[in-house]
Amino acid sequence: MLKIRDLKARVVDGPEILKGIDLDVKAGEIHALMGPNGSGKSTLSRVLAGHPDYEVTGGTVEFEVDREPQNLLAMEAHERACAGVFLAFQYPVEVAGVSNTVFLRAAFNAICKAQGAAPIDAFDFRELLAEKLELIGMDASYLERPVNLDFSGGEKKRNEILQMAVLAPRLAILDETDSGLDVDSLRIVSEGVKKLSTPDNATLMITHYQRMLQHITPDIVHVLMDGRIVKTGDHTLAEAVETRGYDWVREAA
């Protein structure tokens, strides 16, 4: 579904951060991307989502839409979202004045429209929301509050997963969703993410330690260091990183 080849990127006019990434994600898979702070994990996620601060200086990214590979890099951020790419932000943004419900419904309908489906009415949308809230153990009181405004760190992360649950992307990129969540929340959110995973979609979990991976066993684990994927393996790689640290990976690579 996603095919990244030799992807290089930098902050506009800055030094190169991604120095040649290769990555394949197939439908039905759960991937984990690990790596020390500053290795470029968030940069990769933001480049994939189409953040305007970054400039792709080389390589290609193909994303399958209706089984046809499309050049993801040629699409604008909202087009990528409509094609089924979702990024759960490491630092979710506060949006004053816009309630969660209004925001989610606007996003849901924008995606429906792009995919040629009819917009959902307010009543049906309420039902959909209720179901998704339950899935990730969130209280309905968050719906009428402005998006992320004065949410705690953990609440913001959970709100990202609520959005993911509602928008039902084909490729979900979760950037350090585990950090900021307490033990119980982490378990509930992880269960939710697991339930959302189907044979038709894929998940790329970014983390720099193993917390979330204890709840969700990834099919494939990658280690990113200094802008390159230096090692790929199965779930045991995550455990090895946890016990031996990144220096071990560097030496082994």
Backbone phi and psi for residue 94, each to the nearest 5 degrees, phi listed first: -85, 135
Write out the binding residues for another protein, residues 195-234 only, by CB under 8 A. none
Strand-pair partners of 22: none
Closest separation in Å from C-beta 116 to ligand ADP = 35
Nearer to another protein, 103 or 248 (CB): 103
Judged by CB under 8 A, which of 15, 67, 97, 183 binds another protein? 97
Residue 84 CB partners (closer than 8 Å, separation 6+): 63, 65, 169, 170, 171, 201
Residue 123 CB partners (closer than 8 Å, separation 6+): none
Site size for another protein (CB under 8 A): 33
Chain positions contacting ligand ADP, by CB under 6 A: 11, 14, 17, 35, 37-43, 53
CA atoms in the 13 A half-sphere facing the CB of 86: 23
Nearer to ligand ADP, 33 or 188 (CB): 33
Closest separation in Å from C-beta 225 to another protein = 26
111 binds, among Mg ion, another protein, ligand ADP, none (CB under 5 to 8 A by kind): another protein
Query: Of the listed pieces 36-44, 77-85, 122-130, 144-152, which binds Mg ion according to CB under 5 A?
Result: 36-44
Nearer to another protein, 94 or 121 (CB): 94
Strand-pair partners of 220: 31
Write out the binding residues for Mg ion, residues 63-122 only, by CB under 5 A. 90
Residue 140's closest CA among 151, 126, 154?
Answer: 126
Judged by CB under 8 A, which of 52, 141, 183, 243 binds another protein? 52
Residue 142 CB partners (closer than 8 Å, separation 6+): 100, 133, 151, 155, 159, 162
Binding site for Mg ion (CB under 5 A): 41-42, 90
